[in-house]
Structure 1
Amino acid sequence: MNAIRPEAMLEATRLTREGKLTEATAMLQRLLSGVAAPDAARAPSPDVNPADANHASRIIDIDPATGELLGATPPPPNAGSNDGHGDAATDDSPDRTPPRRRSMLHGFMDRLTQGDLTRDARVGSWGNPLREPAPLPDGAEFVHRSFRAPEGRLDYKLYIPARRADRPLPMLVMLHGCTQTPDDFAAGTRMNALAEEHGLLIVYPEQTKAANAQKCWNWFKPADQQRDQGEPALIAGLTQQVLRDLAADRGRVYVAGLSAGGAAAAIMAQAYPDIYAAVGVHSGLPCGAARDIPTAFAAMRQGAGVGLANGTSSRGGASLGRVPTIVFHADQDSTVHPRNGDLVVAQAGAIGGVTFETFTGQVPGGHAYSRTSHMTASGTTVLEHWLVHGAGHAWSGGSSRGSYTDPKGPDASREMLRFFLQHSRPH
């Protein structure tokens, strides 16, 4: 989800402590809306200890009842410099922040810099920990390509396994989380190694900084929640291009993602059930969970609103069909509330004639988990929900070579592929 970079966090703290509260608030609002701050605002103050810049990115605190940014107040009308940005007060502007809000903003920034808002266990390194790409098996390829459409352009990495059968290969589209790259996501999930084992293609679309400053998929924007619009149209078009270029198996195409990527994957399943045979949502939110930044953070903090369980998004767009779904979520995830995992299951689960089975287990030396499976009369599992106990906002069972991973959890990558390969679409 949207994260504030360390240098920006320190600059906002400096502005707050100097009493420039309108500037600090405006800067935070720019960052939350995915707009890059001006260069001057990104540079840390000379009096900031350089060691402090090594803090991990922080998730902004939001009032769970209202979605309001704690301590924030909009800048007064017409306030700001004449530099064309119009969102920062001049140094001699009077502080119009109410006393209670001023106190809240000071307290919020103190909590932010002291790390009180980072309760999630992030076992893998933050950011881009990947030093060197893993060596490829002889005959395998991991190549960079681009896709262009009227909606824009997406770069992507494509993994083509060395193990290729004399038949069209199944394909998985993997949507990364905020701040991640295809290489980072591939390393953390170990999907390429599993692609060799199972013989399938893996596609890693890359969100652009132009679309979102933190490289998050814009799952909370109405224009990016609909079929044939925005990011869903781009991702679907990219999928179709790879299917054509490599003559892949159109009946066995899958999509999965983490966090913002998980929310985007849920949207793709709702918008394009005629393309994707199954979906995996890891630490994500249901389709239609939000309509803007405030409702996005409210959904992240307390769970998406009601009205999503019947497969209808909050924007009134009915699902075109049910796509088999596997969900992973941790019960100590304080970035995306675990209730969102329940809501993804509810949104995907209105299928008649199913039975339920719950199994509990324990990873040796790692996390306990609960797995609930929804099965048809023929024994096919159409919905699976994994709740990882004691873990935070991280890819379960992932490698520490990537970011947002927890090696102590059950192997989400392996379990997702097992689930996916049970399902196919007629074509």
Structure 2
Amino acid sequence: MQAATRLTRAGNLGGATRTIQQALRGLSSVPETPAEGDVIEVQAHEVVDPGRAGSIRLGSAPPLPPSAGARAQAVHGAPRSGPQDVFIAGEHSAAGLSRDYKLYVPPAAAGGARPLVVMLHGCTQDPDDFAAGTGMNALAREQGFFVLYPAQSPRANPQRCWNWFKSNHQRRGRGEPALLASMTQEIVARHGIDARRVYVAGLSAGGAMAALLGEAYPDVFAAIGVHSGLPRGSAKDASSALQAMGRGASASAPDATLPTIVFHGDQDRTVHPRNGEQIAAGHAAVVPGAAEPVPGATGRASTRRVYRDAAGHVLAEHWVVHGGGHAWSGGRSDGSYTDPAGPDAAREMLRFFLEHPRAGQG
């Protein structure tokens, strides 16, 4: 997507279109999602494999229920006494698709139902890279919540982009949203997670998919975080994806339903900052507040606009990182597409999420 954007800005629209079409051709190597009503529901499964564990390897995996049909092993070395956090690898299949994932389990996770944050990486990234760059696992250890990192397959998209711009991956019950929702529900059930505190966030293509996923499954997720992403409904094919990335969505998306926090750099040359504005303003009957400087900020300055309903309830926050590009604000330099100088997007998203549990039971 970044290469296509550069070609577009250089006036080479034909080359840009060919670049995206080349990425889209990767879909032909996996089964297409059947038509609605004919979706094949494959039984979900999880495989914990220490050989596939990534760069963060701590302690040993907690025991899983015998009925789960999965095997758990130490992630690194011999089990240690006392509660430890772990980062385990697994695989999940549903809706005719299959994807790997990494799951961060906090220390003493058996002590009560914990929240879950689903993190969707951007193009060219993977779960280990995204975890390292966002620093979300460190926050999870500090505050005691699970983090799920689904991994896009290069067979589904050669650049590892989530297919937010394909019409067969934009609806409930189909394609990648169906797979990701099923994966989330499996993790919630398997690990006794608090179903009222399940959230989804992502960067770039992952942010666009988070917006789609959260709105397609408000019964699964409680709130959405979109960093440098695009609003749902902003593209249906390659050409409309280019237009939305370069200029912002041409048409307003349907009214949002879930609380949403948005981060976007005002110097983003890959995904136009207007997309962040459109996401935040997507709620019906919101009353936007003034854009106010964030107090106590170090490094890059930022402003935040809060959107409320008529009763004063916060529905959205829009953070603009001044001078920020296409990178995770406040991230760590050992991951790709990070801006360590910006405000801490991971911490602010978590704060916003925990202020918005899903109403009702489980």
Q: TM-score range by the shorter chain?
A: 0.7 to 0.9
Equivalent residue, structure 1, for 2:87: 142
Equivalent residue, structure 2, for 1:345: 280
Amino acid at match of 1:420: F
> How many Å separate the matches in 1 of 2:335 and 2:17?
33
> How many Å separate the matches in 1 of 2:235 and 2:18?
23
Percent of pairs identical after alignment? 50
Equivalent residue, structure 2, for 1:106: none
For residues 225 and 163 of structure 1, do their structure 2 counterparts lie closer, same or farther at Cα, with a shift above 3 Å needed? same
Equivalent residue, structure 1, for 2:24: 33
Q: Deviations over 1:235-274 (max 9, x none)?
A: 0000111011111111110000000000000001211111
For residues 398 and 162 of structure 1, do their structure 2 counterparts lie closer, same or farther at Cα, with a shift above 3 Å needed? same
Amino acid at match of 1:259: S
Equivalent residue, structure 2, for 1:328: 263
User: Which protein is bigger by CA-based radius of gyration?
Assistant: 1
Q: Which of residues 81, 84, 106 in structure 2 aligns to 1:161?
A: 106
Within-5 A mapping of 1:76-95:
none
Within-5 A mapping of 1:60-99:
none
> How many Å separate the matches in 2 of 1:192 and 1:140?
10
**Contact 1:258 1:283 (8 Å CA) reproduced:** yes
> How many Å separate the matches in 2 of 1:323 and 1:284?
16
Equivalent position SS for 1:33: helix
Equivalent residue, structure 2, for 1:418: 351
> How many Å separate the matches in 2 of 1:243 and 1:182?
19
Equivalent residue, structure 1, for 2:39: none
How many pairs were matched up? 303
Residue 331 (structure 1) shift: 0.6
Amino acid at match of 1:401: D
Within-5 A mapping of 1:17-416:
28=19, 30-35=21-26, 133-134=55-56, 136=58, 139-164=84-109, 166-308=111-253, 310-311=254-255, 322-347=257-282, 349-351=283-285, 354=287, 356-361=289-294, 366-375=299-308, 380-416=313-349
Q: Deviations over 1:182-223 (max 9, x none)?
A: 000000000000001111110000000111010000000111
> How many Å separate the matches in 1 of 2:353 and 2:214?
13
**Contact 1:3 1:178 (8 Å CA) reproduced:** no
For residues 25 and 252 of structure 1, do their structure 2 counterparts lie closer, same or farther at Cα, with a shift above 3 Å needed? closer
Amino acid at match of 2:292: F
TM-score of the aligned structures, taking structure 1 as reference length: 0.66
**Contact 1:173 1:202 (8 Å CA) reproduced:** yes
> How many Å separate the matches in 1 of 2:20 and 2:198?
38
Amino acid at match of 2:213: M
TM-score of the aligned structures, taking structure 2 as reference length: 0.78
> How many Å separate the matches in 2 of 1:277 and 1:25?
36
Residue 301 (structure 1) shift: 0.4
Structure 1, unmatched stretches of 5+, are: 10-21, 37-131, 312-318
Residue 382 (structure 1) shift: 2.2
Q: Deviations over 1:87-146 (max 9, x none)?
A: xxxxxxxxxxxxxxxxxxxxxxxxxxxxxxxxxxxxxxxxxxxxx824637611100011
> How many Å separate the matches in 1 of 2:123 and 2:16?
22
**Contact 2:122 2:161 (8 Å CA) reproduced:** yes
> How many Å separate the matches in 1 of 2:204 and 2:116?
21
Residue 381 (structure 1) shift: 2.6
> How many Å separate the matches in 1 of 2:320 and 2:17?
38
Equivalent position SS for 2:246: helix
For residues 416 and 365 of structure 1, do their structure 2 counterparts lie closer, same or farther at Cα, with a shift above 3 Å needed? closer
- Give the CA RMSD over aligned residues: 2.5
For residues 35 and 149 of structure 1, do their structure 2 counterparts lie closer, same or farther at Cα, with a shift above 3 Å needed? closer
For residues 346 and 380 of structure 1, do their structure 2 counterparts lie closer, same or farther at Cα, with a shift above 3 Å needed? closer
